[in-house]
Amino acid sequence: MPNAPYRHQHRVTYAECTVGNHIYHSRYLDLLEAARGEFLRHLGPTVHQLQLADRIFPVIECRLRYKAPARYDDLLEIEVWPTAVEKIRLNFAHRVIRPATGTVILEAETFHVCTSTAEKPKRIPEELATLLRPWLAPPLPE
């Protein structure tokens, strides 16, 4: 059984920051996307391989809770784990932490559907669902 959550490291770049030296709020979505992509790569299929197999996972909803600022050159750890793997639905929880201090920077959830590249609903491939299920864990508390 894998140790949930999957952890991805990221160092904050200057381009991600505001004049006030904190990550611009929408840039966190890019960090979450990168962590999910690396999580899938860790499991086996890359996002590109899934796309070539006519499966994409557009975000249909997201929730972000900002807890503390992350600043230029901070080393962050982004935790990601699936909270639901259903017929066409795939949900993830995320937590961004500054490991040097243990500070929680952000908590987030993203909700996805599996579709074809033509945006028609499709079932999550069973091979992918099988890889994700051992990582399933409860969502973040409200």
List, in sequence order, every residue forming a beta bridge with 93; answer none if it has no partner: 81, 109
Domain extent listing, the chain: 6-135
pTM more than 0.85: yes
Average pLDDT over the chain reads 96
Which has the closest alpha carbon to 16: 26, 1, 4, 8?
Answer: 26
CB 8 within 8 A of CB 78: yes
At 142 the pLDDT is: 79
In this prediction, residue 5 carries a pLDDT of 95
Q: Per the structure block, which two tokens stand in for 116?
A: 């074809």
| Per-residue pLDDT tens over the stretch 48-104 | 999 999 999 999 999 999 999 999 999 999 999 999 999 999 999 999 999 999 999
Spelled out in words, what is the top-level CATH class assigned to the domain 6-135?
Answer: alpha beta
Cα 2 to Cα 60, 104, 126: the distances in Å are: 27, 23, 18
pLDDT of residue 21: 96
